[in-house]
Amino acid sequence: MKKILAIGIWLSSAVFFTQCKSELKGDADNGGLMLPNGFEALVVVDSLGSARHLAVNDNGDIYVKLRASYPDGSNVAMRDEDGDGKADVIKKFGLYTDEMGYGTAMRIYNGYLYFSSTGDVFRVKLRPGELLPDTAMELIVHDDYMHDPHGAQHTAKPVTFDDKGRMYVPYGAPSDVCQQFDRIPESPGQNPCPELEEHGGIWTFDPNKTNQTIKDGKRYATGIRSAVAMTWNPNDKTLYIVQHGRDDLHRTWPALYSRWQSTLLPSEEFLKVDEGADCGWPYYYYDQMQGKLLLNPEYGGDGKKEGNAAKYDQPLIGFPGHFAPNDILFYTGNQFPERYKNGAFIAFHGSTIRAPYSQGGYFVAFVPFKEGKPSGPWEVFADGFSGMDTIVNTSDADARPMGLAQGPDGSIYVSESRRGKIWRIIYKGDKAKFGDADLAAMAKRKTTSAHIKDPDEVKDNLQKGVVSGGEQLYQTYCGACHLQNGKGDESRFPPLDSSEYVMGDKDRLIGILLNGLHEPITVKGKEWNSVMPSHGFLTDEQLSLVLSYVRKNFGHNASEVSVAEVTAKRSKPAVAK
């Protein structure tokens, strides 16, 4: 009797998934996405709130990590009850605090749902047949980043699991490139870098043990600046990451790197990470145009020197700079054409620091794989998230793809971080006939779309040399974080438009640029935690120009800041409050 019942359940499940595959259709406009021929997309849900990673259970239930803390729960559970691909039941769960809002992880492992805040990895037990998991949360790993003497940059905590019962957690670098003075132009690097003792790498933990700290983990790999896109590949049983490269080279080394070079460099590195690997941070970066690891200028590099690069692990692929890879998924399903089997999908969240050229990324790429390595160039798989081609400001984009997950029927789900939209991508064509012709339109986008292609140094310059004075200084030193329109990136860096810090006391404003900010501030009713480095390396005249520009633009018409006012403040420096 039990055997017959089990067979009945299996058959009904098989029928359910077969019906889903044959009857499910994409939205008329594919949810705004552009895809290879034969693929369709539908919007599962819209406006959940800023979404990070997501996971899909064996029964099709969807779990999404939200970026911030909410009083009614910072995770979302969703269920499609009528088989149309849309979420019919949407519930929040998970009460915890996330001071910086970098919570990222959402993964299912051995009947548990694992997720993270900025510094903590939690898990809850999934209950068979129930949408919401058990209310009892277990703290698996704790990172006391708020009291870290090195700082709290790149603190996102994605997780993945191998086939030996290990959980992988990255500890990102608390600086850009381990300079003596972080992000200060031409400040030399520290060698050896003291941050590497407990940062800049990946650690393994026991996924079943509670209240662990980094002391309980084992360092698996080092030399990794920031890995948000990380996964275990079940096909070759290896860890893979796509890491974020260092920031604006022109800003810190203007004599060595042009603004065009700084737009494209350094590469976002796709790495196969074996145990004991050293990927070179902070001493080296990858130049995808030269196809080489090069010595960072903080350690004696000049854009050409290779130094001892050969002793470090080399990337499989170097993507253009600042695309911001935030999730990676190896496809194991059978719904898509054979070329996608065992290949890697990568979600590029999109850049903030590519001015004076279009911001880049904002799409999902695909890398074909064969025998454990890329078998061809990377491709554009899904585009249209941004709702535009040329993206001047990050905040102009409609959506920024963030997380990837595979459903039980082989569909791919994509989350985005602006409003919290979720897409489901399905294949409706003839798998046997799928070929290069079906990829032609997406291949063209790779070489012609402003937010994907390598920009022409002259023709694609959106400023074309017309700016000068305070505007030029702003775009060089401030626009990367606060954006060209002064609105900030809505997540890490505060807006300047109509800001009480810009319109208020000039002495306080001057002090912020001279001394930086190292504590939370509240701007327009919202708290911001990101560290701002000192800009005291600028001359009094330069500071006067850039501050006057800010106070005369972005909806402001305040008085200018004189050179004398800057000089007077510099003569008696104090930490800005």
**Residues 324 and 387 reside in one and the same domain:** yes
Question: In Å, what is the CA distance from 512 to each residue of 266, 485, 569?
Answer: 29, 20, 11
**Residues 375 and 510 reside in one and the same domain:** no
Question: In Å, what is the CA distance from 276 to each residue of 151, 221, 239, 272?
Answer: 25, 5, 12, 12
523: CATH: 1.10.760.10
Q: Is residue 460 part of a domain?
A: no
Instruction: From 413, 448, 483, give the residue that closes a domain.
Output: 448
Q: Is residue 431 part of a domain?
A: yes
**Residues 293 and 362 reside in one and the same domain:** yes
Q: Is residue 491 part of a domain?
A: yes
430: CATH: 2.120.10.30
Q: Is residue 456 part of a domain?
A: no
Give 292's Cβ-side CA count (13 Å radius): 13
**Residues 432 and 486 reside in one and the same domain:** no
- Using DSSP's 3-state secondary structure scheme, residue 104 falls into coil
**Residues 389 and 496 reside in one and the same domain:** no
Token duo for residue 311: 């002793």
**Residues 124 and 250 reside in one and the same domain:** yes
How confident is the model over 277-316, as pLDDT tens digits? Answer: 999 999 999 999 999 999 999 999 999 999 999 999 999 9
- Using DSSP's 3-state secondary structure scheme, residue 219 falls into strand
Long-range CB contacts for residues 26-34, cutoff 8 Å, separation at least 24: 26/426, 26/428, 30/384, 31/421, 31/423, 32/384, 32/385, 32/387, 32/398, 33/382, 33/383, 33/384, 33/385, 33/423, 33/425, 34/382, 34/383, 34/384, 34/441, 34/442, 34/445
* CA gap 421, 62 in Å, rounded: 13
Q: Dihedrals φ, ψ of 9, to 5°?
A: -65, -45
Question: In Å, what is the CA distance from 188 to each residue of 8, 39, 301, 361, 478?
Answer: 68, 50, 11, 30, 21
**Residues 222 and 279 reside in one and the same domain:** yes
- Where do the DSSP E strands lie in 325-411? 325-330, 344-348, 363-367, 369-370, 373-374, 379-382, 401-406
**Residues 403 and 440 reside in one and the same domain:** yes
**Residues 343 and 229 reside in one and the same domain:** yes
Q: Is residue 5 part of a domain?
A: no
**Positive or negative torsion for Cα 305, 311, 312, 313:** positive
Token duo for residue 199: 């940062």
**Residues 50 and 130 reside in one and the same domain:** yes
Question: In Å, what is the CA distance from 394 to each residue of 267, 315, 335, 386, 481?
Answer: 19, 27, 34, 9, 10
Yes or no: say if 140 and 205 are a contact pair by the CB < 8 Å rule. yes
Yes or no: say if 81 and 134 are a contact pair by the CB < 8 Å rule. no
How confident is the model over 209-261, as pLDDT tens digits? Answer: 999 999 999 999 999 999 999 999 999 999 999 999 999 999 999 999 999 99
* CA gap 205, 105 in Å, rounded: 15
Yes or no: say if 540 and 514 are a contact pair by the CB < 8 Å rule. no
**Residues 127 and 31 reside in one and the same domain:** yes
Instruction: From 392, 415, 448, give the residue that closes a domain.
Output: 448
Yes or no: say if 455 and 464 are a contact pair by the CB < 8 Å rule. no
Yes or no: say if 390 and 462 are a contact pair by the CB < 8 Å rule. yes
Give the domain range for residue 496. Answer: 469-571
Q: Is residue 463 part of a domain?
A: no
Count of domains forming the chain? 2
Question: In Å, what is the CA distance from 403 to each residue of 152, 153, 415?
Answer: 23, 20, 5
**Residues 298 and 396 reside in one and the same domain:** yes
Each residue's pLDDT tens digit in the chain (577 positions)?
Answer: 433 333 333 334 433 443 344 489 999 999 999 999 999 999 999 999 999 999 999 999 999 999 888 889 999 999 999 999 999 999 999 999 887 888 899 999 999 999 999 999 999 999 999 999 999 999 999 999 888 888 889 999 999 999 999 999 999 999 999 999 999 999 999 999 999 999 999 999 999 999 999 999 999 999 999 999 999 999 999 999 999 999 999 999 999 999 999 999 999 999 999 999 999 999 999 999 999 999 999 999 999 999 999 999 999 999 999 999 999 999 999 999 999 999 999 999 999 999 899 999 999 999 999 988 999 999 999 999 999 999 998 989 999 999 999 999 999 999 999 999 999 999 999 999 999 999 999 999 999 999 999 999 999 998 875 556 888 788 778 877 887 788 887 777 888 887 888 888 888 888 888 888 877 788 887 877 777 888 888 888 888 788 878 887 887 778 888 888 878 888 875 544 4
Q: Is residue 333 part of a domain?
A: yes
* Residues composing the chain: 577
Q: Is residue 461 part of a domain?
A: no
* CA gap 261, 457 in Å, rounded: 9
